Amino acid sequence: MRTISHFIDNETAPGTSGRSGPVFNPATGAQTGEVAFASDAEVDRAVAAAKAAYRSWGTVSLARRTALLYAYRELLHARREDLARLITAEHGKVHADALGEVARGMEIVELACGIAEKLKGELSTQVSSGVDVASIRQPLGVVAGITPFNFPAMVPLWMFPVAIACGNTFVLKPSEKDPSASLLLAELAREAGFPPGVLNVVNGDRSAVERILAHPDIAAVSFVGSTPVARAIQRGALEHGKRVQALGGAKNHMLVLPDADLEVAADNAINAAYGSAGERCMAVSVVVTVGDAAGDALVERIAKRAAALRIGPGDDPASEMGPLITAEHREKVASYVPSARAQGAEVVVDGTGLAVPGHESGFFLGVSLLDRVTPEMDAYRDEIFGPVLCVARTGSYDEALELINSSRWGNGTAVFTRDGGAARRFQLEVEAGMVGVNVPIPVPVGYHSFGGWKESLFGDHHIYGNDGVRFYTRGKVITTRWPDPATAEGGINLGFPSNH
């Protein structure tokens, strides 16, 4: 069985705490590794390495940082299949989805390659007689990232390339459920030429997180995960005087207006709800219909497509959806189907009895479709984070908008329609941070920023893009006055300086 360690100061660092956790292959249910959990001393060692590295890295030229990031991007491209295989082996998502995850992470590396453009300051001359004022941005120092299991490569790549490009050094604490992709990312950074201590990885559980939040030498913390944990991360970071961006959970709604192309809407609902087994914060978990005729027609189309989905191990090219991350999570997700039935929903498709031949011990769950779901039901109120799609019926656009805006989350949303005026009205009136128009999962490209509203974001900055640069830097304003040599005593002297 494989032992999974830490990565500190450009070296593999075996765990010394005596504590560890299991890593499984979700498709087989077999334990494939044991990941070391960091002690406070091991977290401190990683922070000390990052702090020592910052003394020189913070002043490395933009040209040098850019050259290293370009080299890193090329290594990621060359090793993308290896990264995808690790993701599939430990997370379970199908290979094509894992490759897509790596590609989306690489977008942010490419953004970081152009960081010089983002770090340009501003200059105002002659604001007063002989006085100029400049605004610049400087790195914070040591920063940390705490990342979730559902995107073990992409979310770390949303964080550390931008932070490092801005001149910071980084300590990453990935999910203990699928840590290997993050370690490969760190090894590739070493291969690209990043100095020791610039990027460090410590594995662990809540104890490691608490030490990161309390450590006095960490200036800022980025987090992606569930809303309760995001709220706790924000509270802990602020208590210890740290800057924080904590991205929480979601209940993303997809509004389908009566004029929409229902075939297209059904295709997109299937992809957005069941892709990556629904284990993504931008998954569509509620389809909102307007009018019973359109609702009936759409549910029929979604159900037909759901029944045809091919579910199996992620390394099988025929599989369209893989297993869930753990047996415990599978059981929790499955529990929402009988609960919804008991609370009055119509179970159109029940995937809870699925068995994958040859993988009976895997953490597989079939897709479920729940119709006529209402806001008081558990399936609507909770973030299920699995392949369960709810359909909520409304009688008008205004009723649908009110339903969506009353959600405590505001991560992403989408509208499907042929009416440009209706789409424009929706994108202005809906209370969510990311909006798709005939796009079911509106994850922004790298040069825009990702983040929601309400209980989907704790902190003022979204992740990556311009917000990411602002989060990982701080502003400084410099006001200068130099004497005019033409009026200075003694006049202009263009001669060589003397030694006396």
Residue 386 belongs to what H/E stretch?
none
From the first residue on, what is the mean pLDDT of each consecutive set of 10 residues in the chain (500 residues)?
A: 96 97 98 98 98 97 97 98 98 98 98 96 94 97 98 98 98 98 98 98 98 98 98 98 98 98 98 97 97 96 97 97 98 98 98 96 98 98 98 98 98 98 98 98 95 96 96 98 75 57
Token pair for residue 3?
């032992």
What is the CATH number assigned to the segment(s) 2-248+456-479? 3.40.605.10
pLDDT of residue 486: 73
Between vectors from CA 478 to CA 473 and to CA 479, what angle results, nearest 5°? 160
- The model's pLDDT over 36-59, given as tens digits with 9 standing for 90+, comes to 999 999 999 999 999 999 999 999
Token pair for residue 164?
């490092």
Distance CA 361, CA 28 (A): 6
- The model's pLDDT over 401-456, given as tens digits with 9 standing for 90+, comes to 999 999 999 999 999 999 999 999 999 999 999 999 999 999 999 999 999 999 99
The secondary structure of the chain in percent helix, strand, coil, rounded to multiples of 5, reads 40, 25, 35
pLDDT of residue 491: 60
Residue 279 belongs to what H/E stretch?
none
Among residues 158, 247, 169, the alpha carbon closest in space to that of 468 is found at: 158
Q: Write out the residue limits of the CATH 3.40.605.10 domain(s) in the chain.
A: 2-248+456-479
Please check whether residue 379 is in contact with residue 370, taking contact to mean a CB–CB distance below 8 angstroms: yes
pLDDT of residue 500: 45
Among residues 151, 206, 179, 224, the alpha carbon closest in space to that of 24 is found at: 179
Options 3.40.367.20, 3.40.309.10, 3.40.50.1100, 3.40.50.300; CATH for 252-437 is 3.40.309.10
Q: Write out the residue limits of the CATH 3.40.309.10 domain(s) in the chain.
A: 252-437
Residue 221 belongs to what H/E stretch?
strand 218-224
Catalytic site residue 281?
yes
Please check whether residue 404 is in contact with residue 413, taking contact to mean a CB–CB distance below 8 angstroms: yes
Distance CA 152, CA 175 (A): 7
Dihedral angle at the C-alpha atoms of 349, 355, 342, 340, nearest 10 degrees?
Answer: -60
Residues 6+ apart with CB under 8 A from 363: 24, 26, 27, 29, 92, 323, 324, 325, 326, 327, 329, 330
**What DSSP line would sit under 205-218, residue for residue?**
SHHHHHHHHH-TTE
pTM as predicted:
0.95
Between vectors from CA 470 to CA 440 and to CA 178, what angle results, nearest 5°? 55
